[in-house]
Amino acid sequence: MTSLVLALINYLKNQNIALNGNTVKVSASFPVKEAEIPCIVVAPGEGTFKEISLDGNRVLVRETADVNVYAKSHGDRDSLVEQVENVLVNPSALENDGFFYMHVTVKRTLDLPEHGVFRTVFVVEAFRFILK
């Protein structure tokens, strides 16, 4: 699991987002079980750990993660998405975990109404320095 995924999970858990008893979790699988919805699922994004050397002592690391919001109706999904979006707009939200910049690069809706699943995905990109 990438450090960004773990940092996002911890951060979202601490933001008091209403999930009707379900919690933020890690998963790269889809679909989630019906009993687990509504939920927020954080998974590694594409392009994780692309490194750009800056100087002799440290490397700038870019990590991406997908924050999936699942609900059983449009209304519930929109409400949960709004809460998550409000949390993710804070660019320094993860600075305690070593990330100095974070932003949402893509927000897309991936509904499966025939399965009773309404989903929005945020693609989150964050940067941090590491020592070589």
Bridge partners of residue 123, in order along the sequence: 66, 106
In this predicted structure, the answer to whether residue 1 has a pLDDT above a threshold of 80 is no
Alpha carbon 93 to its chain centroid, in Å, reads 12
Calculate mean pLDDT across residues 113-125: 89
DSSP code of residue 92 = T
Which fold does the domain 3-131 belong to in CATH? STM4215-like (3.30.2000)
Domain boundaries, the chain: 3-131
pLDDT of residue 118: 92
User: Residue 105: how many CB atoms within 10 A of its CB?
Assistant: 11
Instruction: Kindly tell me the burial class for residue 38, based on how many C-beta atoms sit within 10 Å of its own C-beta (0-12, 13-18, 19 or more).
Output: buried
In this predicted structure, the answer to whether residue 114 has a pLDDT above a threshold of 80 is yes
Q: Give which of 76, 90, 81 is closest to 108, Cα–Cα.
A: 81
**Both tokens of residue 116?**
């009773």
Instruction: Kindly tell me the burial class for residue 92, based on how many C-beta atoms sit within 10 Å of its own C-beta (0-12, 13-18, 19 or more).
Output: exposed
pLDDT of residue 30: 63
Cβ contacts of 37 within 8 Å, gap of 6 or more: 22, 70, 71, 72, 117
Cα separation, 118 vs 74, in Å, equals 6
pLDDT, tens digit (0-9, with 9 covering 90-100), for 50-93? 667 666 777 888 899 999 999 989 999 999 999 999 989 876 77
pLDDT, tens digit (0-9, with 9 covering 90-100), for 15-51? 888 787 677 877 766 667 778 888 999 998 876 666 6
Calculate mean pLDDT across residues 94-108: 88
